[in-house]
């Protein structure tokens, strides 16, 4: 039978070794450089419904220009996105940041170069809200684009309004209903609706007529937005 004193020493040695390994691994993960290339793989779990409903996944590149890549996901929330300019952060937004993974917390790439972040479950954080977009009396029907922000929408360096010209703002027909996923504690929610310019030809989604709505809280969101 092992003497108590020797047994205690062995137990303390094992505890220190375990703690030492844990700390070493944690430091190694924190100090590892951002992945320079690979494929990001994961899945969002959203409240029941269809479409992104204002939820976006972004990859921030580890470059001086802080490039952002918009990651598309399917109806089941699955996304797969290659990157080649360094990966510093993965962000999920719904008007504001609702989930963030920094480079130091990303899992290591597997043998195929895939960084699998697994399932990001946002079902308890978000609630679906539906609203109708309508044309004001005497105004033309047609398509508009809609964006959602928390706090006043950003402006450009010369005070120009935010652009709704990129693919994360798909055209929506006036008179139709839209669905949005709103964080449960949201406040200062703003919507921007834009009509395109160039109605006689190809619609131009940069520089069209815009109208801003808000601020609203999650408890007092509008049932409809009326566009001039």
At 93-104, the pLDDT tens digits run: 998 899 999 988
pTM of the model: 0.76
199 and 112 share one domain:
no
Distance (Å, rounded) from C-alpha 128 to C-alpha 136?
25
The sheet with strand 97-102 has its strands ordered as: 68-71, 56-60, 89-93, 97-102
pLDDT of residue 39: 94
* Within-domain flag for 13: no
Q: Name the domain count of the chain.
A: 2
Task: Name every residue whose Cβ is closer than 8 Å to that of residue 99 and which is 6 or more positions away in sequence.
Answer: 91, 92, 120, 122
**Identity of the highest mean pLDDT range in 18-32, 53-67, 83-97, 112-126:** 112-126
CATH of the domain at 107: 2.60.40
Q: What percent of the chain has pLDDT over 90?
A: 53
113 and 130 share one domain:
no
CA distances to 20, 63, 106, 114 from 28, in Å: 12, 22, 12, 20
133 and 105 share one domain:
no
Whether the per-residue pLDDT at 144 is higher than 50: the answer is yes
69 and 159 share one domain:
no
Within 13 Å and on the Cβ side, how many CA atoms surround 66? 1
- Residue 196 or residue 9, greater confidence: 196
Beta carbons within 10 angstroms of residue 196's beta carbon: 20
CA R_g for the chain: 24
Q: What are phi and psi of 221, to 5 degrees?
A: -90, 150
* Within-domain flag for 145: yes
pLDDT of residue 64: 60
95 and 116 share one domain:
yes
Distance (Å, rounded) from C-alpha 179 to C-alpha 121?
19
Q: What percent of the chain has pLDDT over 70?
A: 81
* Within-domain flag for 141: yes
DSSP code per residue over 202-225? S-B-SS--EEEEEEE-TTS--SEE
In this prediction, residues 116-132 reach a mean pLDDT of: 96
Domain boundary among 93, 121, 149: 121
Distance (Å, rounded) from C-alpha 115 to C-alpha 42?
8
* Within-domain flag for 33: no
104 and 80 share one domain:
yes
153 and 80 share one domain:
no
- Which candidate, 30, 91, 29, 31, places its Cα nearest to that of 66? 91
Task: Name every residue whose Cβ is closer than 8 Å to that of residue 104 and which is 6 or more positions away in sequence.
Answer: 29, 30, 31, 32
In this prediction, residues 193-214 reach a mean pLDDT of: 82
- Which candidate, 95, 117, 103, places its Cα nearest to that of 41? 117
187 and 202 share one domain:
yes
Domain region containing 47 = 38-121
The answer to which of 33-37, 141-145, 205-209 has the lowest mean pLDDT is 33-37
pLDDT of residue 197: 84
Domain boundary among 121, 156, 172: 121
Domain boundary among 121, 151, 167: 121
182 and 198 share one domain:
yes
* Within-domain flag for 62: yes
131 and 221 share one domain:
yes
* Within-domain flag for 179: yes
102 and 131 share one domain:
no
Beta carbons within 10 angstroms of residue 110's beta carbon: 12
């Amino acid at each position: 039978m092992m003497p108590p004193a020797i047994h205690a020493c062995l137990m303390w040695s094992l505890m220190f070794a375990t703690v030492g390994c844990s700390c070493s691994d944690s430091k190694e993960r924190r100090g590892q450089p951002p992945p320079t290339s690979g494929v990001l793989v994961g899945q969002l779990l959203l409240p029941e419904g269809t479409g992104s409903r204002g939820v976006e996944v972004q990859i921030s590149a580890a470059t001086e220009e802080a490039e952002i890549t918009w990651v598309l996901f399917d109806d089941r929330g699955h996304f797969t996105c290659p990157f080649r300019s360094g990966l510093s952060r993965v962000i999920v937004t719904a008007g504001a940041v609702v989930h963030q993974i920094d480079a130091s917390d990303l899992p290591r790439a597997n043998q195929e170069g895939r960084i699998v972040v697994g399932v990001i479950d946002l079902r308890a954080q978000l609630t679906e809200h539906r609203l109708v977009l309508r044309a004001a009396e005497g105004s033309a029907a047609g398509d508009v684009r809609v964006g959602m922000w928390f706090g006043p929408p950003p402006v450009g360096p010369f005070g120009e309004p935010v652009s709704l010209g990129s693919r994360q703002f798909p055209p929506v027909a006036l008179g139709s209903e839209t669905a949005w996923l709103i964080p449960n504690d949201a406040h200062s929610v703003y919507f921007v609706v834009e009509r395109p310019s160039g109605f006689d030809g190809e619609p131009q989604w940069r520089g069209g007529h815009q109208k801003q709505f808000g601020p609203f809280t999650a408890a007092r969101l509008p049932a409809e937005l009326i566009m001039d």
